Structure 1
Amino acid sequence: MIPKSIIEAIVDQYAQPLEGRHGLSHWARVLENGRLLAKRTDADLTVVELFSVFHDAGRQNEAFDPDHGARGAELARQFHKEGLLTLTDRQLALLTLACETHTDGLITGDLTVRVCWDSDRLDLGRAGIRPALGLLCTGAARDSEVMEWASERSLSGHLPDLLSSEWGIHLKEEQSA
């Protein structure tokens, strides 16, 4: 579980609308996608969970922002240096790599990084994009039931319960994409 202090610190510096396409409900769906995929693989759950909140945390706009992943990775490094994140060197390297490269369309590499990418790609429905089967990196993400489950939630703007139960945040229901 992601400590509430990390969520609060990310939210405090986030420059975009919390209700936006790349905001809190997206992070929460990515988290739930990642938890599901991590259960079905040997991915490092800590890294997968943290990816969900750092990968878009450095966005400067809701449109084309090619350096947002690198900014999210740098934020993770900063939090680690300040002691807010306690990770092994390997975990920090995996987290920052996953953030920096999550929009590059890569499909090979470390299993944990691939699970991170898949957890985000499974939520592309919010932007009107159906995840391409060939761009999903793991068998767990390519499972038709997982794809359908994630797609329905993404398209409907589902607000996961963890927003309030784990993060103490209450948002209004989103409009369908």
Structure 2
Amino acid sequence: MLEMNQDPLNPVINAVQGIYGRKDQAHDLEHALRVREWGKKIGIQESADLVIVELAAILHDIGRSGTLSRTHAESGSALAGGILQKCGYPENIIEAVKTAVLSHSREGYEPETLEAKILYDADKLDFVGPIGIARLFAWAGKEGKPFFGPDSCESFYRERISHYHKHLYTETARVLFEPLFLYSENFWSELEKMRLKKD
């Protein structure tokens, strides 16, 4: 019997700690656990299978240091299958989680199941608002990108993140996204004003 407050997914979290320890701070275990929480919020409202959503969220970025011949989603999907097998999950859960992980970043794979769509949406929610801004700068620092100009934090935000709301799959995620997006928009607007300020 589980003790009070013991997380039933702890075996999976423990299995991926070492993998996430090698990732950049924008794609670490903390990110995966936040995506899990977003996924739960969306999944409850959308009547999804929360076990699949939560497992997929915990595992979704484990393939980021995979082979060059695969996308990180492809590598992650394969790794997720092995981890879940070792943790004793049934084949139907394993396949559903692998499917969600495979399509969470749209690197050639469109999310088709409800749980895959929720994982996609939950992942995007963690790239807006205060946490999203912190993640963007952490990632850009690792990649050596400047704040402004071509191939910068700002250009990545303007070209990618600011359009995420157009591609969200669930109504729940669209509602959750809006205030976080406004926060991000205000941040970039204020930062631009500060940048252009003259003495």
TM-score by length of 1: 0.70
Q: What does the per-residue CA deviation read over 1:6-65, in whole Å, with 9 as the maximum and x for residues that have no partner?
A: 112111234624x6100122112101100100110111100110111111012119xx99
Tell me if 1:27 matches 2:32. yes
Tell me if 1:57 matches 2:62. yes
Q: CA deviation at 1:138?
A: 0.8
Which of the two has higher C-alpha Rg? 2
Distance 2:183 2:11 in 1: 27
Give 1:139's match in structure 2, choosing from 157, 166, 171.
171
Tell me if 1:123 matches 2:126. yes
Look up the equivalent residue of 1:12 and give its one-letter code: G
Instruction: For 1:1-177, list aligned pairs within 5 A.
Output: 1-14=7-20, 16-17=22-23, 20-60=25-65, 67-82=71-86, 84-87=87-90, 89-104=91-106, 109-125=112-128, 126=132, 127=136, 128=157, 129-130=161-162, 132-143=164-175, 146-148=176-178
RMSD after superposition? 3.0
Look up the equivalent residue of 2:84 and give its one-letter code: H
Distance 1:11 1:147 in 2: 28
Q: 1:27 to 1:2 in 2, by over 3 A?
A: farther
Distance 1:71 1:10 in 2: 14
Q: Which runs of 5+ in 1 are unaligned?
A: 156-177
Structure with the bigger RCO (C-alpha within 8 Å, sep 6+) is 1
Aligned identity (percent) is 26
Higher helix share: 2
Look up the equivalent residue of 2:63 and give its one-letter code: G
